[in-house]
Homo-oligomer: A and B are copies of this chain.
Amino acid sequence: MPERILVVVCDGLGDRPVSGFGNRTPLQAAARPALNFLARNGACGILDIIAPGVRPGSDTAHLALFGHDPFKVYTGRGPFEAMGVGMEVRPGDVAFRCNFSTVDDRLNIVDRRAGRIREGTAELARALDGWEFEGVEVHFKEGTEHRGVLLLRAPGLSSLVSDPDPHQEGVRPHECEPKAPEAALTARVVNAFVKRSTEVLRDHPVNRARRRAGERPANIVLPRGAGIMPHIPTFRERFGMKCAAIAGVALVKGICRVSGMEVIDVKGATGGLDTDIEAKLRAALKALESNDLVFVNIKAADLCGHDGDPNGKVKVAKRIDRAMSLVKKALPEGAILALTSDHSTPCCVKDHTGDPVPLVIYGKGVRADRVRTFDEIACAEGGLGRLRGVDLLPVLMDLAGRAEKFGA
């Protein structure tokens, strides 16, 4: 009988030795009886999420963990930026990273970041969102600070267009040019959108207020970095599996959705440092009753890594451990549990690195090895050896009795 699979990804948990911790990693420095129980009774290893030394983004990391080769499916940041700001993205959509910028009366760019505008971009974005041009749906949403995302939806669009954003100030925006004949429509829509942004934004109340306050108006949108959303086959298409996901961060939620997972919202699961880890894992156990695979992303450790806060990461590791003691007790008979990370975010680097992440697989039929603790160093001696992110799902599918035989 096929068994259920629970995958817990502790975002950014992997780290490097911290001198203040006697050269232990934050994970090594944290009391972690539940994680160590899993290590003692499970099979351990380390994962290169993308490939050795390659620094994963949150998007490429989760594509790999869901069994997609990111070198094949990751065609550009645009569509993933769109997911990151919470837009729905469908295969064939073309999306652009954008800046709110400031131009003068002659359309010369005065400031590519519109005085680093922070307030009011949601209202500006709403004024631009939901347009149509030559049959193409045009969506726009603000990001953080001066950033935004332009998303175009219609059959037959192409991402082979040049950037209107000239990537410098003192010049006018470039015409968006098609780099291939099939991109002509896309380029026309982008040019029309840039022109429309100047018309809509010029006298928008937010900009009138900015002028009065002596601030630069956000009176144009400059798109760049076109990307087309690839068709990513869903878990149901690939394996006939019903899958659910619990994640706090918009980008991860978006990748779960395009992978065909039902994204379950959990009260208190914010994606922030204060996220309620126990609530997430309780919800995951609940979801496992009606799903073949449940995926959980716990963001908090990554935030400590980006903040360079090893003490905070130790605390998060302890909280994860306490929450996992619940899972350990309540895991359904026969189910396969994997606990790992999507990338290292060492506190000394304050960003994602290519260091491999620890992995433990626990459950029925797993070949337990001699690893006694769950951490970056000990797991490297485990029975799973050194695997890649794309390998994890097939290994779990096989243990769960869900893999197809290749050959006769």
Contacts and interface: CB of A to CB of B under 8 A. Distances in A.
Contact of A406 (B25, B60, B393, B398): B60
Contacts of A53: 391, 393-399, 403
Contacts of A380: 367, 369, 382-385
Interface residues of A, number: 64
Question: Which of A58, A77, A395 counts the most chain B CB atoms within 10 A?
Answer: A395
B369 A377 contact: yes
Contacts of A407: 56-61, 70, 74, 77, 80
Contacts of A352: 405
Contacts of A382: 380
This chain's copy number in the assembly: 2
B54 A403 contact: yes
A406 B111 CA distance: 28
A365 B17 contact: yes
B394 A52 contact: yes
B52 A395 contact: yes
Interface string A343-381: 000101101111100000000011111100000110011
Contacts of A46: 383, 385
A404 B53 CA distance: 10
Interface string A77-102: 10011001000000000000000000
Contact of A377 (B54, B251, B383, B387): B383
A146 interface: no
Nearest to A386: B385
Contacts of A56: 405-407
B52 A354 contact: no
A51 interface: yes
A381 B370 contact: yes
A213 interface: no
A152 to B, nearest CB: 20
Question: Which of A52, A55, A74, A396 counts the most chain B CB atoms within 10 A?
Answer: A52
Nearest to A63: B407
Interface of A: 16-17, 23, 25, 46, 50-61, 70, 74, 77, 80-81, 84, 251, 346, 348-349, 351-355, 365-370, 376-377, 380-388, 391, 393-399, 401, 403-408
The 9 closest A-B CB pairs, nearest first, are: A57-B407, A53-B394, A60-B407, A385-B386, A354-B398, A53-B395, A52-B391, A380-B383, A53-B398
10 contacts: A52-B394, A52-B395, A53-B394, A54-B403, A74-B406, A74-B407, A349-B365, A354-B398, A369-B380, A386-B387
Given A46-B385, A55-B404, A57-B408, 11 more contacts: A25-B367, A52-B391, A53-B403, A54-B394, A55-B403, A56-B405, A56-B407, A74-B406, A80-B407, A84-B408, A369-B380
